[in-house]
Structure 1
Amino acid sequence: MSRYITIISTTIESGSDSSLIALAVAGLQNISEWSIDLEDCDKVIRIVSAKDISNEFCKKLAFFGIKASVMEVFDDHYHLM
């Protein structure tokens, strides 16, 4: 099975926004792991998924009022996509 690691910068303001991220994650299949780094200046979300869901995830975040942009997507061999 393929595995993709997606790094997304966001406009998340606080930990309370994590509930919106959880809703976005719940709305998509194939996500096996995710994390948020609020200490990073880009408020990065890291997603591990079975397929490239980067654009779809950013659209979900936009629905919840969170601006996001894909920084990088790596495949299961850690090649930049």
Structure 2
Amino acid sequence: MATYITIISTVLENASDKSLVALAIAGFDGVSEWSIDLEDIDKVIRIVSVRDISSECCEKLALFGIKATVMQVFDDRYHLM
């Protein structure tokens, strides 16, 4: 089964935004892990999933008022998609 690694840049304003990110990602099947790097200037979200959910994830985050932009998507062989 293929694995996709999605890197998303966000604009997170406060700690409650992290809860909104968790809620948004929880709505996707096939996500095996995710993390947010709050120390990074881009507040990067890294998602590992069985399919490319990059666009859908950004749309869902926007519904929660979080600006998000896909930076990169890699497949299981680390090929840039």
Superposition TM-score, scaled by structure 1 size: 0.96
Question: In 2, distance between residues paired with 1:61 and 1:44?
Answer: 13
For residues 16-55 of structure 1, the aligned pairs below 5 Å read 16-55=16-55
Deviation at 1:54, TM superposition (A): 0.2
Q: Which amino acid aligns with 1:44?
A: V
Question: In 2, distance between residues paired with 1:68 and 1:75?
Answer: 20
Question: Which residue number in structure 2 is paired with residue 3 of structure 1?
Answer: 3
Q: Percent identity?
A: 72
Partner secondary structure for residue 23 of structure 1: helix
Deviation at 1:28, TM superposition (A): 1.1
Deviation at 1:14, TM superposition (A): 2.9
Decide which moves more: 62-71 or 24-33.
24-33
Unaligned runs of 5+ residues in structure 1 are: none
Question: Which residue number in structure 2 is paired with residue 76 of structure 1?
Answer: 76
Unaligned runs of 5+ residues in structure 2 are: none
